Chains A and B, each alone.
Chain A
Amino acid sequence: MKLLLNLLKTPMFVIGTTIFFGTVLVALFAPMMYHVDIIARVGMPYMPPGKEHLLGTNHLGVDMMSLLIKGLGSSLYVGFLAGMIATVTGTLLGIYGGFKGGWQDDFITLITNLFLVIPTFVVLILISSSLKEGRSLALIAGIIGATAWTWSARAVRAQSASIKSRDHIALARVNGEGTLKIVVKQILPYLFSYVFMVFIMQTASGILSEACISMIGLGPYDTVSLGTILNEAMRNEALGDGAWWAFIPPMILITIIVFALNFINTSMEGVFNPRLRK
């Protein structure tokens, strides 16, 4: 509670969360207020922003505002899902390895290190290019999550190993608490803020990864994400034709989200990390 209060007193955190939840709210509620249609053609290609179309149209004459709202939703969804997958997998493995120790820990560390040295973005490209048909948002998120869990595992493992040496774990044992209860009561609360930070970073990097693979044309089919908007704009010469509205807004959105998440993360680090807190 006190931590939360401290967080709320950190301007960086407040700014970050405000911006981030702002984007989430837009993604959730804008479709109710704005007629979002990413199918219908409403005008000529690359119509500049104007009264009818606040952000102009894309190369197929589709309303950019609609595309952005829909794309924002997709990107956040992919980010959340990828972050969730990476964080949950990484945390479970990290806690298990860090708390259990022994050969299980060695094995998990080995696997993690192995995955860490593999260039994940290349793997990402290979997997998504081998899936010729039916790349859904969830699948893309799954692929990103599956390549990104390693550094959460590593980070969480280190943390849980250091918490393991704290004396209250020993006290809990002599209080007769079982392993599960110790993990839940004595370790998880300490990791929670950390895991949450990892989750936020994983979400941010998930959004970026999605944008990156969409940028090179390996993004999801049948839907619109901020990355695919950028990709379409790039392929259809928005840049050369001066149609800035086709690529600047999605770029700004991605930057804003990632910066907001970074803000949140940095501010939380300041509050949660005792050494920095001093």
Chain B
Amino acid sequence: MSALVLDGVQTRIGRYSVLHDVSFTVPEGGVFVLLGRNGAGKTTTLRSIMGLWQPEAGSVKFGATELRGMHTSAIARLGIAFVPEDMGIFRGLTVAENMVLATESGRFDQKRLDWIYDLFPALKKFWHSAAGGLSGGQKQMLAVARAIIEPRKLILIDEPTKGLAPAIVDAMAEAFREISERTTILLVEQNFEFARSLGRDMAVIEDGRIVHRGSMDAFAEDRELQTRLLSLSV
């Protein structure tokens, strides 16, 4: 079973064609990693799935549902969460208020909340402070926490580890592993270590096109491929 199928997605932003032909299949469960250099089109891909850019051609299938053409909020209500590159924190709201908005009912499941507190202790400490005052890493934690505060079917995450201290990165890897047992995660990452430790399947995007698809293990083995696609060996 596949959770998400992109087929021939083309997206333009303003006058510029950014995605030319993006096709890949995210299997259900586990972490799927999308890799690529700066400006390759990773963020644009996630935004196209989320309906924040409307692809002009191709299809985005979530299970049996065609996402292309749907409104972002409707896509979200299918059980898809999104952690944007810029974190999308509501700076004027408190941490608690940020989190409340990410729940469906307006109430927290205490067990899950405790789990998040445990994962990101800083959030507990600053629960009632304005989110704008958080440190860069704490904001990143909040962004991730919002995505996992309720069970979802699919989580799209854009570079969650940037700016996080090593200890937190480890903790987050653990958490993602746990979540991915029930939830599909589509992860965009520059931190190859982190991506490799989590990813089951992967794709590489280059200049708006998918140039490689395969399993993470195979890719991790193939140094030559890494060098060619990501300049990794440097």
A and B interact physically: no
